[in-house]
């Protein structure tokens, strides 16, 4: 037991002695994800890719509103059979709209995750490049309780990504 305590004390002391020699850095991933130029590029790419489908949904939603307005206005003069047929058409259109809307959301989420994965790879490479170029021994990401501004290399990583 005494040997164990001595060993732990020795390891702790050697860690403190070696810590003075370590160069430690910290990266704010949230800030990089917000400010990296690739984030805006990714957003524009997704908007271009999914814009037409989103516009189609907008048109479909307007069509539903117009049909409902027509149904409300003309329901008094319509026969029961015609009114039910129009209501069924509106209902079917709403179901189709919801399906297409759900599919669009799912497709956008899949593509966002793909784009995020690519961006994370670029960020990791930029962190590694900056860390190696400046001789860092340890670089940590978000999730740290406290990090001094003097070890924050976020701006250097953003510069490496082409931001500043």
Q: What domains does the chain contain, in order, with CATH numbers?
A: 23-161 (3.30.910.20)
φ, ψ for residue 138 (rounded to 5)? Answer: -150, 130
What pLDDT does residue 163 have? 60
Which DSSP string corresponds to 91-118? HHHHHHHHHHHHHHHHHHHHHHHHHHHH
- Spatial separation of the C-alpha atoms in residues 95 and 101, rounded to whole Å: 10
Helices (H) and strands (E) in the chain, counts: 5, 2
- Spatial separation of the C-alpha atoms in residues 152 and 141, rounded to whole Å: 10
pLDDT digits (tens, 9 = 90+) for 76-122: 888 889 989 999 999 999 999 999 999 999 999 999 999 999 988 99
- Spatial separation of the C-alpha atoms in residues 4 and 65, rounded to whole Å: 76
pTM of the model: 0.68
pLDDT tens string, the chain, 164 residues long: the values are 544 433 444 345 455 545 558 888 888 888 888 888 888 888 899 999 999 999 999 999 999 999 999 988 988 888 889 989 999 999 999 999 999 999 999 999 999 999 999 988 998 899 999 999 989 898 988 777 777 778 888 888 888 888 65
**CA geometry: angle 49, 52, 53, nearest 5 deg:** 90
What pLDDT does residue 37 have? 85
* Burial classification of residue 36, based on how many CB atoms lie within 10 Å of its CB (0-12 exposed, 13-18 middle, 19 or more buried): buried
Instruction: Name the region of 143 (left: φ>0; alpha: ψ -120 to 50; beta: rest).
Output: left
Which of 83, 84, 105, 103 is CA-nearest to residue 95? 103
């Amino acid at each position: 037991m005494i040997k164990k305590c001595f060993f732990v004390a020795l390891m702790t002391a050697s860690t403190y002695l070696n810590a003075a020699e370590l160069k430690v850095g910290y990266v704010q991933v949230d800030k990089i994800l917000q400010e990296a130029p690739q984030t805006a590029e990714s957003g524009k790419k997704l908007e271009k890719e999914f814009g037409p489908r989103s516009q189609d949904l907008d048109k479909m939603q307007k069509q539903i509103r117009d049909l409902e307005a027509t149904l409300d206005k003309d329901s008094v003069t319509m026969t029961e059979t015609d009114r039910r047929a129009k209501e069924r058409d509106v209902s079917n259109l709403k179901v189709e709209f919801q399906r297409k809307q759900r599919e669009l959301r799912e497709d956008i989420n899949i593509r966002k995750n793909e784009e995020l994965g690519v961006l994370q790879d670029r960020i990791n490479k930029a962190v590694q490049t900056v860390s190696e170029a400046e001789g860092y021994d340890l670089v940590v990401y978000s999730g740290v309780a406290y990090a001094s501004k003097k070890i924050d290399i976020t701006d250097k990583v953003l510069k490496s990504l082409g931001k500043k």
